[in-house]
Structure 1
Amino acid sequence: MGLGADLVHSTLGRHILADGYDFVIDLDKSAGCHFHDSRSGRDILDMFSCFASLPLGWNHPDLLAAKGELARASVNKVANSDLYTEAMAESVAAFGRIAAPSYLPHHFFVSGGALAVENTMKAAMDWKSHDREAKGIDASGKF
């Protein structure tokens, strides 16, 4: 890009608490279970996996092959609870076919953070309403 690996930590330190590891990850040269440190020029066995957010490792070939499709889907943050896309339908169908047991046919997807809390509360209220209704309790407008 242009900044240079030797300036990464000092640049970040001017604006954030940059107390992480001394490595500077090269996103292009990292592969599989090794990340490439731009500062030392070494490939290092990754036993950290970014708090397990890289379960497939660095630059997995199947993800790289789908880079164009992933970029297209990530450019616009669609409110998928109300607006639908073919990409979403394909993803949900694949999830249902591959990852969901037959006795759990319905899925609930959450982005994370505040949205996760909000949607969890909505799901809990919805469940409570259905639970009360099933028991014959009038739950209209009550929580």
Structure 2
Amino acid sequence: MKTADVTRVLSKNMLADGYSIIFDLERSHDTYFVDEITGREYLDFFTFFASNAVGYNHPKLKDPAFLEKLTLSAIHKPANSDIYTTLMAEFVQKFSQVVMPESMPHLFLVSGGALAVENALKTAFDWKVQKNLARMGKLADSKTEFIHGLGSKVIHFKEA
């Protein structure tokens, strides 16, 4: 497809009121994204709403072995918070060795969106309960009486 046609094609079937830049997936690099129309580079402070913290086209992200694992995981997109995979265990092991400080030994990994917000809220509620348990006594069981499953209710508006 020609770059000049992107916005017109998208506008036929969806609201295409985004930026007038066409993101160049191949030429964007480091912390710069490239406009495919003009070839101009922009220092990226946007980072796709902070979802791209690594930058663009990092050489290690183009490694064939890494891409093979990424593709395998992306095809199936397992719910790794409940169903475990060898790839997840490898990631957690490496992440804990390289990134995690000893003072923060635990991870809570969720893909994103409504479920991530729901799980972040459950984590915050659980923390608050543990912090105040002695003062307040037992509260609702977060797995049966709290907001568990609220994310799916967003999809079914009449239940929300």
Fold conserved between structures, TM > 0.5 = yes
Q: Partners of 1:109 and 1:64 in 2: how far apart?
A: 23
What are the Cα deviations for residues 105-133 of structure 1, in whole angstroms up to 9, with x where unaligned? Answer: 12111222210222123324433554465
Alignment of structure 1 residues 52-67 onto 2, 5 Å: 52-65=50-63, 66-67=66-67
Q: Which amino acid aligns with 1:47?
A: D
* 1:47 and 2:38 are equivalent in the alignment: no
What is the aligned partner in structure 2 of residue 103 from structure 1?
A: 103
What is the aligned partner in structure 1 of residue 24 from structure 2?
A: 26
What is the aligned partner in structure 2 of residue 8 from structure 1?
A: 6
What is the aligned partner in structure 1 of residue 155 from structure 2?
A: none
What are the Cα deviations for residues 28-62 of structure 1, in whole angstroms up to 9, with x where unaligned? Answer: 2333344343323x241333443443333221111
Do the aligned partners of residues 128 and 50 (structure 1) sit closer, same or farther apart at CA in structure 2, a change above 3 Å counting?
Answer: closer
Unaligned stretches of 5+ residues in structure 1: none
Do the aligned partners of residues 128 and 25 (structure 1) sit closer, same or farther apart at CA in structure 2, a change above 3 Å counting?
Answer: closer
Q: Give the 3-state SS of the residue equivalent to 2:33 in structure 1.
A: strand
Q: Which amino acid aligns with 2:11?
A: G
Q: Partners of 2:36 and 2:138 in 1: how far apart?
A: 63
Out of 10-19 and 27-36, give the one that drifted further: 27-36
Q: Which amino acid aligns with 1:24?
A: I
What is the aligned partner in structure 1 of residue 113 from structure 2?
A: 113
Q: Partners of 2:140 and 2:101 in 1: how far apart?
A: 33
Q: Which amino acid aligns with 2:19?
A: Y
* 1:83 and 2:80 are equivalent in the alignment: no
Out of 68-77 and 84-93, give the one that drifted further: 68-77
Q: Partners of 2:100 and 2:131 in 1: how far apart?
A: 23
Asked if the contact 2:110–2:116 (Cα under 8 Å) also holds between the matched residues in 1, the reply is: yes
Report which of the two has the higher share of strand: 1
The number of residues matched between the two structures is 140
Q: Partners of 2:19 and 2:41 in 1: how far apart?
A: 13
Asked if the contact 2:80–2:110 (Cα under 8 Å) also holds between the matched residues in 1, the reply is: no
- Please, what TM-score do these two structures have when normalized by structure 2? 0.70
Q: Which amino acid aligns with 1:115?
A: L
- Please, what TM-score do these two structures have when normalized by structure 1? 0.77
Out of 122-131 and 96-105, give the one that drifted further: 122-131
Q: Which amino acid aligns with 1:111?
A: S
Asked if the contact 1:132–1:138 (Cα under 8 Å) also holds between the matched residues in 2, the reply is: no
